[in-house]
């Protein structure tokens, strides 16, 4: 039986996950070492469980070597670990045809998206093609595509940029408007799975129907991998790009998954040099850890914490919560916040609010969150959650926010 407690908004808190969560939380040394602090900035980068730290230590003390080169045991072992992580990424993304896809390791989502733009998109587009750019999403998912347009224009190839349409109320993509906008020359669509400011799931599975079978869809999954199931089969996308470091792996890690069914494959582009072997080892272990913890449970936990915070905040007069107004009343997947809640205080600037919150032990992100030019015009404070966060932290935060009237 699922035991839940209901709060004012009708959303139920998953009490049945309390023991499960406690067992996972204690595996994060930096979290348990600082009970007076609350880390609420996981959308920027996540903390690492002991298993990831151990895997890195073991690797460096037993088999550190270069990958794909030597013929001795350590080198072979390193090559094996890199290849295993590649397979692990495919499996984690529910790749329906792993023999026909590729995984390219990067330092994070920014580098992944840039790599696609530079190493693939420039040779894929021809004069008169159109690309769809999500102008209110993260700058990392805007700048590379505009740069490609400029680069190609300098060579005489003119590509039209179509601005991704958004729904006014929910900040979800407007899939109906997108279908009207997209034509036979729309060959590339950049999209984001979970919005890094509003926390909404952007219903990416509807894009394929809107743009047709031939357009290449590139997904920025920086805020979804490690938080909710990301299935390349269900979403019907061609590229998935994510940050390993936001999914519990070491800083400087990320990956591009590329389906090779449409257009040319994202070729490794010749000589890549020495890979970030330690980071790759940490990524494989982090994905194992997340899978064992249960992605569905992580999603239930972090969305429930986000709902708890939204519920606490919306009764406090000086605060404005960004994103969908209806989010809690309806409780549909469109309107849930995936572990990200962003807000403003009427009278306190977001940078100051960030300082005040840290003086109470809360680590949050303030200001403009690298949103593109069509995004928010004034700063805000973002609280972003992962499996180690607790309802007690949220309640303490709400109490402090309430005291700042
Ligand atoms: N896209 C989104 C949606 C993000 O939230 C972020 C990180 N804030 C990025 C891209 C950039 O990721 P990274 O720092 O790993 O390059």
87 with 37, same domain? no
**Residue to mutate (ligand 1; options 41, 196, 384; most atoms within 8 A of CB):** 196
Atom of ligand 1 nearest to the CA of 194: 3
Q: Are residues 142 and 260 in the same domain?
A: yes
Atom of ligand 1 nearest to the CA of 108: 15
Co-location of 377 and 319 in the same domain: yes
> What range does the domain containing 146 cover?
53-293
Looking at the fold, whether 27 and 107 belong to one and the same domain comes out as no
* Interatomic CA distance for residues 21 and 29, integer angstroms: 15
| Shared-domain flag, residues 289 and 175 | yes
**Tokens encoding 231:** 């299935």
Q: What is the pLDDT along the chain (405 residues), one digit of tens a residue?
A: 333 444 444 467 899 999 999 999 999 999 999 999 999 999 999 999 999 999 999 999 999 999 988 899 999 999 999 999 999 999 999 999 999 999 999 999 999 999 999 989 999 999 999 999 999 999 999 999 999 999 999 999 999 999 999 988 778 999 999 999 999 999 999 999 999 999 999 999 999 999 999 999 999 999 999 999 999 999 999 999 999 999 999 999 999 999 976 655 665 555 578 899 999 999 999 999 999 999 999 999 999 999 999 989 988 989 999 987 654 444 444 457 999 999 999 999 999 999 999 999 999 999 888 989 888 889 999 999 999 999 999 999 999 999 997
Measured in Å, residue 138 CA sits from the centre of ligand 1 at: 7
**Separation of CA 8 and ligand 1 centre (Å):** 33
Question: Does 318 share its domain with 241?
Answer: no
CATH of the domain at 382: 3.90.1150.10
Q: How many domains does the chain have?
A: 2
pTM, to two decimals = 0.95
Pair 231, 264 in one domain: yes
Residues 154 and 228 in one domain: yes
Angle at 143 between CA 339 and CA 121, to 5 degrees: 105
Report the separation in Å between the CA atom of 390 and the middle of ligand 1, taken as the mean of its atom positions: 24
- Which region, left, alpha or beta, applies to residue 232 given φ > 0 means left and ψ of -120 to 50 means alpha? alpha
Residue nearest to atom 5 of ligand 1 (CA): 196
State both tokens at 274. Answer: 């020495």
Pick from 153, 88, 101: nearest CA to 290? 88
Of 240, 267, 293, which residue is a domain's last? 293
Query: Is the same domain home to 93 and 15?
Result: no
Tell me which residues have their CB closer than 6 angstroms to ligand 1: 43-44, 108-110, 138, 140-141, 192, 196, 220, 222-223, 243, 254
Distances (CA, A) of 333 to 200, 202, 324, 375: 8, 9, 12, 22
Q: What is the CATH number of the domain that holds 86?
A: 3.40.640.10
Distance between Cα 44 and ligand 1 center (Å): 7
**Sheet strands (E) in 260-375:** 319-321, 340-345, 362-363, 365-367
pLDDT score recorded for residue 368:
87
Neighbours of 29 (CB within 10 A): 13
Same domain, 105 and 230: yes
Could you tell me if 108 and 213 lie in one domain?
A: yes
d(CA 118, CA 113): 9
Closest CA to 267 of 72, 89, 64, 116: 116
Q: Ligand 1 centroid to 127 CA: how many Å?
A: 30
Where among 241, 270, 293 does a domain terminate?
293
* CA–centroid distance, residue 243 to ligand 1 (Å): 7
Same-domain pairing of 287 and 357 = no
CA separation for the pair 323, 343 (Å, rounded)? 9
DSSP 118-155: IIIIHHH--TT-EEEE-TTSBGGGTHHHHHHHHHHHHT
| Ligand 1 centroid – CA 345 distance (Å) | 25
Q: Which of 200, 242, 243, 340 to mutate to test the pocket of ligand 1 (most atoms within 8 A of CB)?
A: 243
């Amino acid at each position: 039986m699922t035991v839940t407690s209901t709060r004012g908004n009708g959303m139920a808190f998953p009490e049945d996950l309390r023991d499960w969560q406690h067992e996972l939380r204690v595996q994060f040394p930096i979290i348990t070492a600082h009970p007076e602090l609350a880390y609420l900035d996981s959308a920027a980068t996540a903390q690492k469980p002991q298993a990831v730290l151990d895997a890195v230590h073991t690797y460096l003390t037993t088999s550190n070597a270069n990958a794909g080169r030597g013929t001795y045991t350590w080198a072979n072992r390193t090559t094996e670990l890199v290849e295993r992580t590649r397979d692990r990424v495919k499996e984690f993304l529910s790749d329906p045809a792993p023999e026909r896809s590729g995984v390219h390791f990067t330092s994070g989502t920014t580098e992944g998206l840039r790599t696609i733009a530079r190493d693939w998109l420039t040779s894929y587009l021809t004069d008169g093609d159109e690309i769809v750019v999500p102008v209110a999403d993260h700058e990392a998912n805007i700048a590379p595509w505009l740069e490609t347009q400029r680069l190609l224009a300098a060579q005489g190839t003119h590509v039209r940029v179509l601005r991704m349409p958004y729904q006014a109320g929910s900040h979800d993509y407007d899939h109906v408007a997108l279908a009207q906008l997209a034509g036979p020359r729309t060959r590339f669509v950049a999209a984001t799975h979970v919005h890094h400011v509003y926390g909404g799931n952007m219903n990416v599975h509807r894009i394929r129907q809107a743009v047709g079978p031939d357009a290449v869809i590139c997904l920025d999954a920086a805020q979804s991998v490690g938080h909710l199931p990301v299935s390349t089969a269900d979403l019907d996308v061609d590229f998935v790009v994510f940050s390993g470091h936001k999914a519990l792996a070491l800083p400087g890690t990320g990956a591009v998954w590329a389906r090779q069914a449409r257009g040319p494959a994202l070729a490794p582009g010749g000589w890549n040099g020495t890979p970030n072997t330690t980071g790759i080892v940490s990524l494989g272990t982090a994905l194992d850890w997340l899978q064992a913890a249960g992605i569905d449970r992580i999603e239930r936990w972090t969305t429930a914490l986000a709902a708890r915070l939204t519920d606490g905040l919306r009764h406090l007069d000086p605060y404005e919560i960004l994103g969908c107004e209806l989010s809690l009343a309806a409780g549909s997947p469109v309107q849930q916040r995936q572990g990200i809640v962003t807000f403003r205080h009427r009278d306190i600037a977001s940078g100051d609010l960030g300082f005040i919150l840290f003086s109470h032990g809360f680590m949050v992100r303030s200001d403009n969150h690298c949103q593109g030019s069509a995004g928010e015009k004034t700063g805000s404070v973002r609280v972003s959650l992962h499996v180690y966060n607790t309802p007690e932290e949220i309640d303490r935060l709400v109490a402090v926010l309430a005291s700042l009237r």
